[in-house]
Chain A
Amino acid sequence: MINSDVIRGHIDAIILKLLLEKDMYGYELVSEIKERTHNKFAIKEATLYSVVQRLEQRELIDSYMGEKSLGRKRRYYRVTAFGRAYYQEAIREWRLLNEIMVSMLGSDVS
């Protein structure tokens, strides 16, 4: 299981990627991350929801009240145009980082 500190710098991009695929509510994001990483990525819900709030404050995502569950409405998140641009920039950064790591660690990581 990978510690959240290692991946913390990329959590914004991970959330944006998931929301680019479809609008999701908070716990749906957590479940999706757990499912896709087969529980190898240990991020606490407290961290994830707080990151979501930070992304909303930075206008990378926005929210709306969606379908009801047990009589209550859920808050769904979606990516803004600014968020899409930010995500593309994050992908460029990730490719560069990946290139650097592969060139430094070579055959050990391939």
Chain B
Amino acid sequence: MNKIKSFVTKLLRGILNDEDKRELIEILTLSLQEKVDDLVEAGTPVEEAIARSLSEFGTSTDVLKAFPETEKQKRMSSRHHLNNFIFALCSYVIICSLAVFINYSFLGFFQTFWWAGIVGIATLFWPLAMFYVYLKAKR
């Protein structure tokens, strides 16, 4: 039972709200256990029955298919984060280009050292953070 429950808990990590998840973990665990019991009753060894039940069960994407609204929200959220990442990347390129342009176009203090590189490194956190958030939402 513990093996099944930990499989289900891991499967639902990062999806649905806590209340729905608690109830769903209970139902999925029980249903999987019922399958294992049926297989064992039909003569399958316990370990084999558990392994077969878990492998045939499906993924978190299959769980989300039962909740069209949540699935849609997840897709929208992923698209929203992708847009944020693209916006951050474009802004980063514009800021860096402007810094390089100023660096090489003006005389005096601005040309004494390559400070555009510092601007580039300093603002790199923005697209990187957005990319990380996007990957997290996608996963």
Q: Which residues of A contact B (CB under 8 A)?
A: 4-5, 8, 25-28, 30-31, 44-54, 56-57, 69-70, 72, 74-75
Q: List 24 A-B contacts (CB under 8 A).
A: A4-B65, A5-B65, A8-B68, A25-B34, A26-B30, A26-B31, A26-B35, A28-B34, A31-B38, A44-B65, A45-B57, A46-B11, A46-B28, A46-B60, A46-B62, A46-B63, A48-B66, A50-B27, A50-B28, A53-B27, A57-B20, A72-B33, A72-B37, A74-B34
Q: Is the interface of A mostly helix, strand, loop or mixed?
A: helix
Q: Is the interface of B mostly helix, strand, loop or mixed?
A: helix
Interchain residue pairs A-B with the least CB separation, the first 6: A44-B58, A46-B58, A26-B31, A50-B66, A46-B62, A44-B62
Q: How many A-B pairs fall under 8 Å by CB?
A: 81
A69 to chain B: closest residue by CB? B37
